[in-house]
Amino acid sequence: MLTKQTILCIDMKSFYASCAALRLGLDPLTCHLAVVGNTERQGSVVLAASPALKKDYGIKTGSRLFEIPKDERIHVVNAQMAFFLQRSIEITGLLNRFVPQEAIHTYSVDESFIKADGTERLWGDGRALATAITTSIQEEFGLPSAIGIGPNMLLAKLCLDLEAKKTGIAQWTYEDVPRKLWPLSPLRKMWGIGPRLEQTLHRMGITKVGDLAHYPLALLEKKFGVMGNQLYHHAWGIDETQLEERPATNGQISYGKSQILLRDYTKKEEIQHVMLEMCEEVARRARTAKKAGRTISLGMGYSRHEGGGGFHRSKSIEEPTNITMELYDVCLQLMQEFYSGQTVRKLSITLSNVCDDTEMQLNLFALDEPKKRTLGYVMDEIRRKHGSTALLRAVSYTSAGTARHRSTLLGGHKA
């Protein structure tokens, strides 16, 4: 029996750019505006571009500041993350006026799902509710939005990405799948399929979603395991996930940090300095949640001046940990094994396979381990009371350190 709910996927169009435009008294839909991480760095990434800037100049999210033409019609502003986050919270509050809190799933700062079942007597069907929501957001915040409607979260999201972002509001049913979803190509336009998976599917002769829907399920499961089953059913528009089952923040399954470095890093010891800072932050996040993890992942992205590329590798340890130096030791092992000397521009570190920190076993042969655990929590408390820079490791005061600079940011960007 197919799930038949009324799920709305709500997207705030060019959210960061729209918020910034309104602050400047500009029309979000007609102005030429880019939000960047730092206007003082020519290599800074464009975080958001207004629709007109995308259309008229080809500047989009991921472009670089130096690619933006010197044109007096174009406004370039720093990210204002505190304001963006506050506005996002206010929009969630507006959604709560239409549906209960438990019927809202915040997917990202600018995108949310809501389950509308049971609200028909108040607001009408899904389209009527979507119209009421977009109108309210426009009237109260001046922000444009788009809504995709579907019988499950998958189809609501696909409807949003493939149709509603162009038309404003759209609705898909299971009957629409053969006509609207199966012709979709390239495959990376399908929610959940990235470039690498797309390449693998191409080698299997799968170039459209329809090909995936008619590929033998047994072969997909043999090739991809559980994910193969999911790919097959998603190609048919089937998603049995219930909105209330989506992972909540207090059920987080990993703790990670990634950053694009302020410059190219060529010296191994400088890269290690940043790695140590990041391990400190990842461990702190895990300790704050009273969690520990067994799997540590290290990712490195190389400078595009050397052709880009990089690696992402993981290593599991016997006992869970949230001790900074234990994470760092594993990262050093991964670096020793997989790093071959290229110039590094991006780093990521993740602690996963998590459990409650009460499951951390004391090593009878490491008498200082209880002290290490206690020290981490004491350091966290000092930072909580006196600020994140109240207690820093010596590497943060070297030319390679980034922690002091990033302490002035919110979400990796200017607050």
Catalytic residue numbers, as ranges: 111
Q: What are phi and psi of 26, to 5 degrees?
A: -105, 160
Q: Could you give the residue ranges of the DSSP H alpha helices within 177-216?
A: 195-203, 209-213
Q: What's the CA gap between 155 and 170, in Å, rounded?
A: 11
Q: What is the DSSP letter of 44?
A: P
287's tokens: 């300790």
User: Which residue, chain included where needed, has tokens 């979000």?
Assistant: 28
Check residue 113 and give left, alpha or beta (phi > 0: left; psi -120 to 50: alpha): beta
The answer to whether residues 126 and 8 touch, using CB atoms and an 8 Å cutoff, is yes
Exposed e or buried b for every residue in 53-92, given b needs 16+ CB within 10 A? bbeebebeeebebeebeeeeebbbbbbbbeebeebbeebe
